[in-house]
Each structure stands twice: as C-alpha cells, then as structure tokens.
Structure 1
Amino acid sequence: MDILFDRYADAIRRLELDRVATSADIPEQFLLAREGRYSSHYIPFESVNLGARVVVVGISPGFVQWKNAMREAQRQMALGADRDTVLRAARQAGAFSGAIRPNFVALLDAIGVQRWLGIASCASLFGADAQLVHIGAILRHPVFVDGKNYSGTPAMPRQAFLREETLRWFAHEAAMLPDALYIPMGASVSEGLDWLARQGIVKAGRILHGLPHPSGANAERVAYFLGRKERSALSGKTNGAQLDAARQALLAQMEGLIAAR
C-alpha cells in the first residue's frame, strides 16, 4: 500500500487551518470518498507502530483531531522533519490526553494487561514503553455523516461505506499486527472488531471486549469496574451485573493469555 502522505504533503503545507472552522470547510482536495450522507477525508495517520503488542481501537478521528493532526504535521514539516517523523508525530498529537488516560491505565492494569506485557503498569505505555502500543481507529480517516463526526451509529458492519473504509485502511494495519491485543473503545468498535474477526483479519481471542469506555462521562461505570464504588451506590443507569460479568470474563481471558505466553 502506498503512503498517501506523499500525495498530500504540498496541500498540507498550504492548508490555512484558521479558515477551517467546521468539517464543511475541509478543502475538497482532502476528500477520499463520498457516498450519500457519508464522507471520509485524509488525515496523516499512516504511521503504524510495528512493535506494538496492544492496539487501542477508537471509532474514527473527529474534526478536532483532524485539525490537531494537520497542525502538528505542518509544524514538523516546517522543522524539516522526515516523512516518518511527521506521520508519527501527527498520529500521536493529542492521543489519550487529559482525564481519559489515568482511567484507561487503571482499567488495563485491573485486568492484568501489564502482566502480559511484562511491565510494572500500563502507565508506561504513554512514556518509556510507548513502543508497545499502537493507537488506531477502526475508521482510520475521519468519517462525517451529514457533516458531523461519525459517532458509531449505525455500527460499522451495518453500513457498506463504513465496511469498505475499514477494509481499505484499518484491515491493513491489523494485518501488520497479527499477535497484538485489540482493545475496542466502545460497543460500536467491539461490533466492528467482531466482524473483522469473522473475516479472518483479527484473532477473536485477542479482542478484549467489555472494558468501560474511560471517558469522564462514563465515570460511574469505570469506578464500579475498578472496585471504587459499591454496587448498592450505583445509579439506575449503570448495570452492575453486566460489569461484573465483563470483569470476570476479561480476567479469565487475560489469565489464559498470560499462561500461554
């Protein structure tokens, strides 16, 4: 697969980001595909960490992430960085920053991912052990629906345009990382990874289903999963039994993977 960045480098250099206020303002030259309500747009996310043993899979980069990645690419290009450095920096820009990171680390450590990796804590995946993790999205390039960020509905396997986008880009990344653990960020991504497993693209036994999404909006589910909140104190919107079952399944899955190392 060729590196699209080579085709878009000049356009990225000339891009006036201050004039791009919404997804509708993204210049037409960055359009990759369009079908009905759906459109996908190039983002310089072609860097793949080939040493990764954990792949974190989001839904799709949103408009803000597109701007951040383009801004970082421009910055690196202005510094005279080579292509690999530009692509790596653009992909890392803003990945799991803010409150989401400590929640994510705590969830991975709680089920034993750090033991499988042979490190003290998954916190080092964002520092000294960054070579062990790849941050991806089941839709590599931003997808907009009626000009708005794709949010996971309909789920990827249920829509032909989304399936094609996944097979064209993410499947290529997954083929390069066949023995990694795949961590879906949300139910829609879980459904997508299961579909990819049925296609033989990822191994079903290496998908870690059931972790609560680590966003701040999901604080109660995260706290309960981590044992920081009693079941009796849960609000009606949180299903404690479902989280208990997910935790037990993940712990058993990780013990099996650790034993098989």
Structure 2
Amino acid sequence: MTPILFPQYADAIRDLDLAAIDSAASLPERFLLAREGKFSVHYIPFEYVNPAARIVVVGIAPGFAQWKNAMREAQRRIKAGAGQDEVLRAARLAGAFSGAIRPNFIALLDAIGVQRWLGIEGCASLFDAHAHLVQISAILRHPVFVDGRNYSGTPGMAKLPFLREQVLRYFAQEAARLPDALYIPMGGSVAEGLDWLAREGVIRRDRILHGLPHPSGANAERVAYFLGRKERATLSSRTNARQIDASRATLLAQMASLTEG
C-alpha cells in the first residue's frame, strides 16, 4: 500500500507562493514525483478516499488549474490549523463539478436510475445531503504533463508502462478500498483505462458505467439527446444517435440488473 505522501509536502504547500506559479513549467521541482521523457508527474494533495462511497466519478488527471486550486485550498486549511484528513478532503473537493457540468451530470445519473440503486430520491443530493456516497477521483491521481501541457489521454495510458505504473500505484489502491462502488468514466480514454484495470482484476467489469455522455457544456447536444430533450431529426452530423441509443439501452439494463440484484 502506497503511504500517504502529504506529510512530506505539508510545509512546502504552506510556504508556496502561488501567485508566482502561472504554468506547469513553473511548478516547483519539490513537487515532482516522476519523470520519463516528455512526461512529468507532480504531487497534488488528492489522497483522500471516502470509505462510504458507492459512486466513483473518474476523470483522467488533474490539470494545472486544478493543481493550483487544490494547493490554494490546502494552503488555506493548513494555515487555519486543520488536521491532515480535513486538508486532504477539502483539497480534493475544491471546485469539483462546478458550473454547468453538475446539473448535466445529475440529470444523466437520474436518467439511468442510479438514484434507485442508491435508494435516494434523486442524484442532486449527491452534492449535498448524500455527498458521503461519492468519491471524485482521477485514474491518474497526480497531474501528468506532456512537455508542460496537461495530459489529454493520448497516447492511451494503458499502452505506456510509465502511466500504467502511476495508475496501479495510486488509483488501483484507491479502487481496492471501494470494491462495491460504481465507476463512472469521464471520457473515452478513462473508459479504456478502467477496462484495462478490469482485465487486471482490479475492479469488476459490471461496475463500470460505460456510455454516459460527458456532461460538459461542450457536449450539450449529446447530453440533450441522451436525456430525450432533443429530437433525433434535429441533431447535427457530429452526433451519432444510434450509438447514443445503444449506450442508453445498455446502461438502463445494467442499472436495472444491479438494482434488482
């Protein structure tokens, strides 16, 4: 089990001059965890794991903006005298699913029946009264930069030993603590990574919810069609209605099976 790294970085986080850090290239060397070729991995205080989580929302990796937001929140909590658990929890939740992405995400979960599986009235409460049921995560826990730019999933992480090792060292251990949770990949590259972990026996394949459209505003048309808010005849050529229909049917059947089980 990889130990919590936060105690090694707490003083450095407290003393950070965040105003002087304006890009990934200016991240202090103190936070470098690993480097190979054009890839670099930098520490972020995202080590909090919610042991009660039944839903794990899996992004690809924190980017530079998320690194800075998390460090700002961790720094604020440290200076206020908070304990390690409070600092780590607050840093991981800082800015999670803010803006337009949240209502889209809630509507998508409700549309396939996640609320029934959880035994709650609606998934909006996952960001309020039932926040303890959710783990906001990333398959690459710590920010990965490619020549100083946020890693976007290309090349695929399962194809690169360096990134596979990062997934196994951090996310796989997190997943081992949440064996009965549902895993929701945010994007195709994350879905491929979760499939690889299923083949490795880290998570159960039937616990991966494949096919939900990414809830970002940039994906508005696919989200609207999935939710029945837009007619097929009005879709642009960029939206594959047949694929979305198939994904919706598969997800509805998967959630019905899990709920009945």
When normalised by structure 2's length, the TM-score is 0.99
The aligned amino acid for 2:94 is A
1:221-246, CA deviations, whole angstroms, 9 ceiling, x for partnerless residues? 00000000000000000000000000
Find the counterpart in structure 2 of residue 30 from structure 1.
31
1:153-174, CA deviations, whole angstroms, 9 ceiling, x for partnerless residues? 1121111111111001100100
Find the counterpart in structure 1 of residue 150 from structure 2.
149
1:175-219, CA deviations, whole angstroms, 9 ceiling, x for partnerless residues? 000000000001100000000000000000000000000000000
Q: Aligned runs of 1:58-69 on 2, under 5 Å?
A: 58-69=59-70
The 2-side partners of 1:259 and 1:133 are apart by 21
Unpaired segments ≥5 residues, structure 1 = none
> Percent of aligned pairs with the same residue?
72
Find the counterpart in structure 2 of residue 236 from structure 1.
237
Q: Count residues with an aligned counterpart.
A: 260
The aligned amino acid for 1:254 is M
Q: Aligned runs of 1:41-190 on 2, under 5 Å?
A: 41-190=42-191
The 1-side partners of 2:163 and 2:127 are apart by 30
The 1-side partners of 2:140 and 2:42 are apart by 11
When normalised by structure 1's length, the TM-score is 0.99
Unpaired segments ≥5 residues, structure 2 = none
Find the counterpart in structure 2 of residue 15 from structure 1.
16
1:131-151, CA deviations, whole angstroms, 9 ceiling, x for partnerless residues? 000000000000001100011
The 2-side partners of 1:154 and 1:259 are apart by 39
Q: Aligned runs of 1:209-224 on 2, under 5 Å?
A: 209-224=210-225
1:9-68, CA deviations, whole angstroms, 9 ceiling, x for partnerless residues? 011011100000000110001000000010000000000000000000000000000000
Q: Runs in 1 of length 4+ with deviation above 4 angstroms? A: none
1:61-114, CA deviations, whole angstroms, 9 ceiling, x for partnerless residues? 000000000000000011110000000000000000000000000000000000
Aligned Cα RMSD in Å?
0.5
The 1-side partners of 2:223 and 2:87 are apart by 34
Task: Determine helix, strand or coil for the equivalent of 2:77.
Answer: helix
The 2-side partners of 1:254 and 1:90 are apart by 31
The 2-side partners of 1:160 and 1:104 are apart by 32
